[in-house]
Amino acid sequence: MTLRQTLSHDLAAALARDPAARSKAEVIFAYPGFHAILTYRLAHRAWARGWKLAARLLTHIGRMLTGIEIHPAAQIGCGFFVDHGMGVVIGETTQIGDDVTLYQGVTLGGTSLEGGKRHPTLGNGVIVGAGAKVLGPISIGEMARIGSNAVVVKDVGAHATMVGVPAKPARPKTATDDEFCAYGTPAGDLPDPVSRALDGLLDQVHRLSARVGQLEDEIADCREPELTGGSDDDNVRCGEGQ
């Protein structure tokens, strides 16, 4: 795919995923996310030709202009969209599929000082919400959603929705839930998995407390004939109940 075709896909992605975008001209001249990806596309081609310093200078200029830092060696598919974008960081060995969306403050970072693969791999259609951190050489499956401010340090399956620190599945995977959702957060109720687990534990404690109270009442009923001098028949019945 030529540079022009790739940028055309990037431009179409901005128009499709941001309802505030009114025209192609508005995206071209007033969207820092598009400026950042344009600068990256040029720098990446320079990097591939061995012009390392020129590539780094291009991305540095792009960072100063947009607040978005993308290493020229990163591999990014077409239809890439960075909404708002300030503070986005994409590391050197990051691999990003087609039609991926990132929001402001996202970090695709490395956790090792060793060479080789150090940054995440994002599948097609992934959405990463504002402030989320995806760290290390992990894989994010296609169509996965990473909620705002989540911290992801383990592999994520396709179609999963992850929230929290560290990130946990917010709901079961559904292959049909592929429509675009802003900030990686589907509309409707999306409970915190930690709160949901605590609610389950509290429900269990209440059930156990009720059962303990019931058993205490049964034991008290059995002991009452003994304390009041009840008949032998009552004592026998209590013994049978036990």
Distance of CA 55 to the CA centre of its chain: 30
pLDDT at 35: 92
Q: What band does 175 get if pLDDT is binned at 50, 70 and 90? A: very low
- Is the pLDDT higher at 185 or at 36? 36
Average pLDDT over residues 109-120: 86
* Stretch among 146-155, 175-184, 220-229 having the lowest mean pLDDT: 175-184
Q: Give the model's pLDDT for residue 187.
A: 54
What tens digit of pLDDT does each residue of 203-227 get? Answer: 888 888 888 888 887 787 777 666 5
Q: Is the pLDDT of residue 176 over 70?
A: no
Give bridge partners of residue 102 from the DSSP assignment: 82, 128
The pLDDT of residue 86 is above 70: yes
Range in 27-41, 134-148, 176-190 with the lowest mean pLDDT: 176-190
The pair phi, psi for residue 94, each rounded to 5°, is -70, 140
Burial label for 113, CB within 10 Å (0-12, 13-18, 19+), is exposed
Tokens of 206: 């209440």
For 59-66, what is the mean pLDDT? 92
The CA distance from 168 to 193, in Å, is 7
The identity of residue 187, as a single letter, is A
Whether 202 shows a pLDDT value over 80: the answer reads yes
Compute the C-alpha angle 154/56/140, nearest 5°: 15
**At a CB cut-off of 8 Å and minimum separation 6, what does 213 contact?**
none
How many other CB atoms are found less than 10 A from the CB of residue 221?
12
pLDDT of 242: 47
Rounded mean pLDDT of 85-113?
A: 90
CATH assignment, 3-188 = 2.160.10.10
- The reported pLDDT for the residue numbered 1 is 76
Assigned token pair, 128: 């990463």
Q: Which amino acid is at 226?
A: E
What residues form DSSP beta bridges with 134? 108, 152
Position 189 confidence tier, pLDDT thresholds 50, 70, 90: low
* 113 — pLDDT class (breaks 50, 70, 90): confident
How high is the pLDDT of residue 60?
93
- The dihedrals phi and psi of 174, each to the nearest 5 degrees, come to -135, 115
Cβ-Cβ contacts under 8 Å for 233 (sequence gap 6 or more): none
Q: What single letter denotes the amino acid at residue 97? A: G
Q: Which two tokens stand for residue 111?
A: 């956790």
Assess contact for 122 and 76: CB atoms under 8 A.
no
pLDDT in tens, 10-58: 888 888 888 888 888 999 999 999 999 999 999 999 999 999 999 999 9
- The tokens of 67 are what? 């607040």
Cα 27 to Cα 76, 121, 232: the distances in Å are: 19, 27, 92
What is residue 241's predicted lDDT score, i.e. its pLDDT?
A: 47
